[in-house]
Amino acid sequence: MILSTAAENYISFKSLGLDPVVFKIGFFELKWYSIAYIAGILLGWWYLLKLIAQPGAPMARRHADDMVFYATLGIILGGRLGYAIFYQTELLLDPLKLLRLWDGGMSFHGGVIGVTLAILWLCRKEKLNWLRVHDYVACCVPFGLFFGRLANFVNAELWGHPTTVPWAIVFERTGGNIPRHPSQLYEAGLEGLLLGIVLWFLFWKTDARYQPGKLVGTFILGYGLSRFFVEFFREHDRQFDGTIFATPGLHMGQLLTIPMILGGVYLIATAKKRRERVEPFAGTQTIA
């Protein structure tokens, strides 16, 4: 009640003038969420080409181009199926609703699984080092995470718990007349900006890319820790009302990050043991 009556003292989401729809022509409408996916994939592709242009790259340009196609399929199919399995199992009983991507509902963890399977398939097909390819792809993912979380904010979804912090935002349309943590922006900053900077530093300023598993380990550890932390400020998913997953510290998103955290620690700890002379996939320079 106190938060509700004091809502006028906080930032109103309506005052920001944000609309999930960029424009609408007849039955067609373009949403910022779609643009976020497209921007993340295109920037990730561009950055991947920059990475593989360095000595000792694990794949050639043609592999990177194929990777974007298969990874996109992995993101969409894995993300949607992951959402149905982890968050809304009734979608599995209605394939038509499962295909309605425009209604929203994507799981990052499902997307990770989908992209991983796509990478494994391509690496087996082209006889590439799958762990080193994962390292390079992991450096590109923060672009998508950053834009995706900004799209969540524009959609006024996945907001946080009620709060009285000065930067609280009142999401009137979806969150009621209550000031809340803008948890979408917390995730954009941690999973997108901060994690992206860490991976940039490790790739360009250290020899991490010659230690198979170190970069992808850093990514999944960093994402896992960031997501686990932000879940303490984020409202639980409504479908878990009345369950243990509605309790802070037991959110589904937190539980799904535990294997990522453990896997990331393992990959980082064992990366130096996997270091070996790296022969370039294209060119003549060898990296010891």
What pLDDT tens digit does each residue of the chain (288 aa) get? 445 556 678 999 999 999 988 888 877 788 888 898 889 999 999 999 999 999 889 999 999 999 889 888 888 888 778 777 777 777 776 766 666 665 666 777 788 888 899 999 999 999 999 999 999 999 999 999 999 999 999 999 889 999 999 999 999 989 899 999 999 999 999 999 999 999 999 999 999 999 999 999 999 999 999 999 999 999 877 766 667 766 777 788 888 899 999 999 999 999 999 886 665 555 445 454
Determine contact, residues 57/227, Cβ cutoff 8 Å.
Answer: no
Both tokens of residue 164?
Answer: 């009285």
In the numeric block, which tokens belong to residue 54?
A: 């360095």
The predicted pLDDT at position 82 comes to: 75
- pLDDT confidence of residue 77: 83
* Dist CA 81 CA 77 (whole Å): 6
CB 106 within 8 A of CB 86: no
30 sits in which H/E element: strand 28-31
- Whole-angstrom Cα distance, residue 166 to residue 161? 14
Smallest CA-to-CA distance from 4 within 178, 171, 173 is with 178
Give pTM, 2 decimals.
0.86
The CA–CA distances, whole Å, from 126 to 114, 253, 274 equal 18, 34, 21
8-state DSSP, 169: E
Distance CA 193, CA 145 (A): 9
170, β-bridge pairs: 12, 179
Contact predicate 218/196, CB 8 Å: no
Q: Which residues contact 94 (CB under 8 A, 6 or more apart)?
A: none
Q: What is the distance between the alpha carbons of residues 145 and 288, in angstroms, rounded to a whole number?
A: 33
Question: Can you give the pLDDT at residue 284?
Answer: 47
* CA 142 – CA 148 distance, rounded (Å): 10
> What is the phi-psi region of residue 104: left when phi exceeds 0, alpha when psi lies from -120 to 50, beta otherwise?
left
Closest to 69 measured CA to CA, from 42, 95, 93, 102: 42
* pLDDT recorded at residue 281: 59
